[in-house]
Amino acid sequence: MTKLEQIENSVSALSDEELKSFAEWFAELRWQRWDRQIEADAEAGRLDKFIAEAKAEIAAGKTRPL
């Protein structure tokens, strides 16, 4: 049995309350990983193109205030 299959079996056996707690924990974990990925991409310059495009659109008046 693979690790994923073991996890699936364990999650399937959770009570409703345990599943709710697990889902909240898992969502937070995903957001933390997303944040780390965005930070790493920013530090590596992978977002520079998008920042430059946004600044150019602002300078060209192609945006509107929120």
Token pair, residue 63, equals 């945006």
In a domain, 4, yes or no: no
Greatest Cα pair distance in the chain: 58
> Could you identify the residue written with the tokens 């965005």?
38
**pLDDT per position as a tens digit, 13-53:** 999 999 999 999 999 999 999 999 999 999 999 999 999 99
Which pLDDT band holds residue 57 (cuts at 50, 70, 90)?
very high
Tell me if 5 is assigned to some domain: no
pTM of the model: 0.69
Domain membership of residue 66 (yes or no) is: no
Q: How far is CA 4 from CA 32, 48, 50, 62, in A?
A: 21, 36, 36, 47
Q: Look at the block and give the residue holding tokens 């974990």.
A: 29
User: Structural domain of residue 20, as residue ranges?
Assistant: 15-59
* Number of domains into which the chain is organized: 1
